[in-house]
Structures are given as structure tokens and as C-alpha cells.
């Protein structure tokens, strides 16, 4: 079965410091991984998709199949980055259906 693990419930960093939000996964197939973000009192929104390999709001994430990781990184944290971050894995569940499995989330708090 697929699993997404985010080992840190809460991560506090100072403004301007580097940020790394950890995500590890277990999946027997070829994984498709995402990072979603939820700002206070807002809906979840897609931040990154590993296939696109783009940088959004200064965040990047590299899929490491050897370590089964998809850590989210940003070189310099900003106060507006404070939010809840979820790592998610998509798997094909048959008959044209997909399931997106989320980790438990990491709350990032950027200290001014």
C-alpha cells in the first residue's frame, strides 16, 4: 500500500533562513508526487508537481527515488510562507480512477 510520511508536525524557522520540509513515501509503482499548501483559513492549493520540475514562490522539490523522498526546499524563508504543507502521492487505482494520498502535514512557522 502507498504511504506518505511527513515526520515533522511543526517546523519553525527564522525569516531568511533556509527551509526544508521532509516527505518520504512508499509505493510499489512509479510515483507521482505533489506538494499542497493551505494558508490560514484558505483552501488547499497545489504548490508543486514533481513532473513539472518548476519553482513556485521560490520553493523546489526533487524526487529522489533511491531515498524515496520528495523534500520541499526554499533557500530563504519569508513570513508569508507560514502555512500548512502537505505532501501527496497519486496512484492509479484501476478503471480510470486515481487516488491522492496525503501525508499528515507540516505546519511551517516563519519567525520574523
Output 28 or 112, the one with its CB closest to another protein. Answer: 28
Output 97 or 112, the one with its CB closest to another protein. Answer: 97
Residue 9 Cβ vs another protein, minimum distance, rounded to whole Å: 8
Output 34 or 59, the one with its CB closest to another protein. Answer: 34
Output 66 or 94, the one with its CB closest to another protein. Answer: 94
**Which chain residues interact with another protein by CB under 8 A?**
6, 9, 32, 34, 36, 42-46, 49, 86, 90, 92-93, 95-105
Task: Collect contacts of 53-58 with beta carbons under 8 A, ≥24 apart.
Answer: 57/81
Residue 104 Cβ vs another protein, minimum distance, rounded to whole Å: 4
Residue 27 Cβ vs another protein, minimum distance, rounded to whole Å: 13
Residue 102 Cβ vs another protein, minimum distance, rounded to whole Å: 4
Residue 31 · residue 63 · CB < 8 Å? yes
Instruction: Tally Cβ neighbours within 10 Å of residue 38.
Output: 16
Amino acid at each position: 500500500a502507498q504511504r506518505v510520511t511527513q515526520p515533522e508536525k511543526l517546523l519553525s524557522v527564522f525569516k531568511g533562513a533556509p527551509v526544508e520540509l521532509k516527505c518520504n513515501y512508499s509505493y510499489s509503482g512509479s510515483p507521482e508526487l505533489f506538494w499542497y499548501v493551505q494558508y490560514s483559513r484558505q483552501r488547499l492549493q497545489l504548490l508543486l508537481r514533481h513532473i513539472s520540475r518548476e519553482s513556485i514562490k521560490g520553493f523546489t522539490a526533487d524526487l529522489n527515488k533511491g531515498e524515496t523522498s520528495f523534500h520541499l526546499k526554499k533557500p530563504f524563508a519569508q513570513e508569508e510562507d507560514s502555512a500548512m504543507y502537505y505532501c501527496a502521492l497519486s496512484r492509479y487505482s484501476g478503471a480510470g480512477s486515481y487516488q491522492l494520498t496525503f501525508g499528515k502535514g507540516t505546519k511551517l512557522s516563519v519567525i520574523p
